Amino acid sequence: MKKTWWKEAVIYQIYPRSFMDSNGDGIGDLKGITSRLDYLKYLGIDVIWLSPIYQSPNDDNGYDISDYQAIMDEFGTMADFDEMLAEAHKRNIKIVMDLVVNHTSDEHQWFIESRKSKDNAYRDYYIWREGKNKDASTPPNNWGSCFSGPAWEYDAQTNMYYLHLFSKKQPDLNWDNPNVRAEVFDMMTWWCEKGIDGFRMDVINMISKTKDLPDGEVSGLYGDYGPYAVNGPNIHNYLKEMNEKVLSKYDIMTVGETPDVTTELAKQYAGEDTHELNMVFQFEHVSMGQKYGKWTDEKPSLLELKKIMSRWQTDLYGVAWNSLFWDNHDQPRAVSRFGDDRAQYRDASAKMLATCLHMMQGTPYIYQGEELGMTNYPFESPQDFRDIESINAYKEWCTDGRVSHADFWPCITSRSRDNARTPVQWDDTAQAGFTTAAPWIAVNPNYKEINAKAETADEHSVFHYYKKLIALRKKYPVIVYGKYELLLEDSKDLFVYIRTLNGDGASAEKLLVVCSFTDQETEFTVPDAFDGAVCLISNTEHAYGKGKVRLKPYEAFVLYQN
Ligand code: TEU
Ligand code: CA
């Protein structure tokens, strides 16, 4: 496997709206990010993935872009961006931009033109269709959008519908139009010339749709667009073209957000020699359990989690590259979901989850606040939601009477994207030091106990544990390049694996990673091959010798043998 900087890097995701407010308007901004770069340098990360900072009417918090080459007013100016980029580079931190080109905002100039008339030069930049049977009262097909409701919006001006797989303010671009591809590639080149270090590509495996757009299989209220819009017919051609025309010309990293991919498809998207993307960012391990669609309060099964994560480790080994993450801006907080956020277990289980993930193969992503062990928010009512997906879903499932509030509430609060979007907790002053005004979304009330100031000062904190994991990755190539092997496949409590570098010969290096996913004490027997091994990191005070260890709840440790 080729060695590259992005395989060895640790990435930190910033959701700018919630990271740090510099000018007291309650909204995070670019100057706020710049002011916290020293904190990130101290943590030890190499790359920042910046969620969208472009001009946007904020129907979906910046994932609806109205100008790809301008900065959102609330976040600052292009000069602020240039300053942030320069200050990051000064600290050897790279900046990866979010690239959202499956769709634009309906307020993008292209769409404003497109909807004007059937013969407008931009008409074909988007996906327009007549209503079914030319009947304007029925959408072209039965697809549902990701954010509830139909995936088609009727536009009276031309008596036709446009496709939007996300909100109706996010019309899908027509990638089959060569002009669309040329415009996107030019825009990407413009950012590369500015000196940015890569792209995280939003739902990039959804840009190619089939020519016909037939009804999908119905589940719930709408039909599924999946077979016609995800991993579509021309996707690999378009990515290869993008690679040839833009990506291959720069030393940048690319990560494709790819919902619904198999490991077979990932080998194509992110293969060593396929000339598409560097790595995928896939969701199989965070998609377990479905109750009301994605809304569920079920605890994920460890057996299933191990199966999924191990399959990705094994199938991609030597041929393709994956991202490692528990959290991002679309997911609930990991410690609440996969760990245990009760006071006595939060710290241990946050460290255990970090160990489990950061010792695997792939590029690790830390989502802002995860390094502090931030938890889900205690929502009290639907009025607390800011996220369009949560707001619409509550209406479609509950207000419209398909399920009772009592049944639905625990499910939506367990999964709401707003769990990840509450402000970063910097200190124990008002609004957790995020802002001096009223924040756009409420601060989690636990900020007095959980905050960056307290954790950077305490060498036993979750923060310092992450710092140590990052440092270990830099020191031990086995963490980046070693081969993975799952042990104790059938254990319902323990996630145990080995990593091996340089085969079985005398120069072999081995890691043993042991993670307890239970709030009970358990027992584990250290394999003989790890007799006399060194403990690289652990979330308890244990001394690990030969043979049996009695494990505390959520205990984690890593042994190294060479
Ligand atoms: O997300 C796409 C995606 O597949 C989901 O994670 C989605 O956000 C949702 O959870 C579906 O149930 C990307 C962005 O990460 C997300 O923030 C945007 O809202 C979305 O695309 C549209 O741009
Ligand atoms: Ca601000």
Is residue 146 in contact with ligand 1, taking CB distance under 6 Å?
A: yes
The ligand that comes nearest to the alpha carbon of residue 25 is 2
Spell out the per-residue pLDDT of the chain, length 562, in tens.
Answer: 899 999 999 999 999 999 999 999 999 999 999 999 999 999 999 999 999 999 999 999 999 999 999 999 999 999 999 999 999 999 999 999 999 999 999 999 999 999 999 999 999 999 999 999 888 899 999 999 999 999 999 999 999 999 999 999 999 999 999 999 999 999 999 999 999 999 999 999 999 999 999 999 999 999 999 999 999 999 999 999 999 999 999 999 999 999 999 999 999 999 999 999 999 999 999 999 889 999 999 999 999 999 999 999 999 999 999 999 999 999 999 999 999 999 999 999 999 999 999 999 999 999 999 999 999 999 999 999 999 999 999 999 999 889 999 999 999 999 999 999 999 999 999 999 999 999 999 999 999 999 999 999 999 999 999 999 999 999 999 999 999 999 999 999 999 999 999 876 777 999 999 999 999 999 999 999 999 899 999 999 877 777 899 999 999 999 999 9
Out of 257, 284, 340, 396, the active site residue is: 257
C-alpha to C-alpha distance for 271 and 199, rounded to whole angstroms: 17
Q: Is 189 exposed, middle or buried (0-12, 13-18, 19+ CB in 10 A)?
A: middle
Is residue 418 in contact with ligand 1, taking CB distance under 6 Å?
A: no
Is residue 374 in contact with ligand 1, taking CB distance under 6 Å?
A: no
In contact, 345 and 555? CB cutoff 8 Å: no
C-alpha to C-alpha distance for 344 and 355, rounded to whole angstroms: 19
> What's the gap in Å between 33 CA and the centre of ligand 2?
10
Is residue 74 in contact with ligand 1, taking CB distance under 6 Å?
A: no
Is residue 27 in contact with ligand 1, taking CB distance under 6 Å?
A: no
> What's the gap in Å between 79 CA and the centre of ligand 1?
29
Dihedral, 533, 534, 537, 539 alpha carbons, nearest 10: 70
Q: How many CB atoms lie within 10 A of CB 344?
A: 11
Atom of ligand 1 at shortest range from CA of 329 = 17
Out of 64, 98, 153, 202, the active site residue is: 202
Smallest CA-to-CA distance from 204 within 255, 275, 128 is with 255
> What's the gap in Å between 50 CA and the centre of ligand 1?
15
In contact, 444 and 425? CB cutoff 8 Å: yes
In contact, 323 and 305? CB cutoff 8 Å: no
Answer yes or no: 257 catalytic: yes
For residue 247 the two structure tokens come to 């990506």
How is 111-156 classified by DSSP, letter by letter? HHHHTT-TT-TTGGGB-EEPPGGG-TTS-SS-BBPTTSSBSEEEET
For residue 183 the two structure tokens come to 């415009």
Atom 18 in ligand 1: residue holding the nearest Cα: 63
Angle value at C-alpha 81, between 80 and 85, nearest 5 degrees: 120
In contact, 188 and 180? CB cutoff 8 Å: no
Atom 8 in ligand 1: residue holding the nearest Cα: 330
C-alpha to C-alpha distance for 542 and 524, rounded to whole angstroms: 13
C-alpha to C-alpha distance for 287 and 337, rounded to whole angstroms: 12
How is 356-386 classified by DSSP, letter by letter? HHHTSSSEEEEETTGGGT-------SGGG--
Answer yes or no: 202 catalytic: yes
Atom 10 in ligand 1: residue holding the nearest Cα: 330
Is residue 352 in contact with ligand 1, taking CB distance under 6 Å?
A: no
How is 254-302 classified by DSSP, letter by letter? EEEE-SS--HHHHHHHTBTTSSS-SEEE--GGG----BBBTB--PPPPH
Residue type, 521: E
Is residue 165 in contact with ligand 1, taking CB distance under 6 Å?
A: no
C-alpha to C-alpha distance for 517 and 514, rounded to whole angstroms: 10
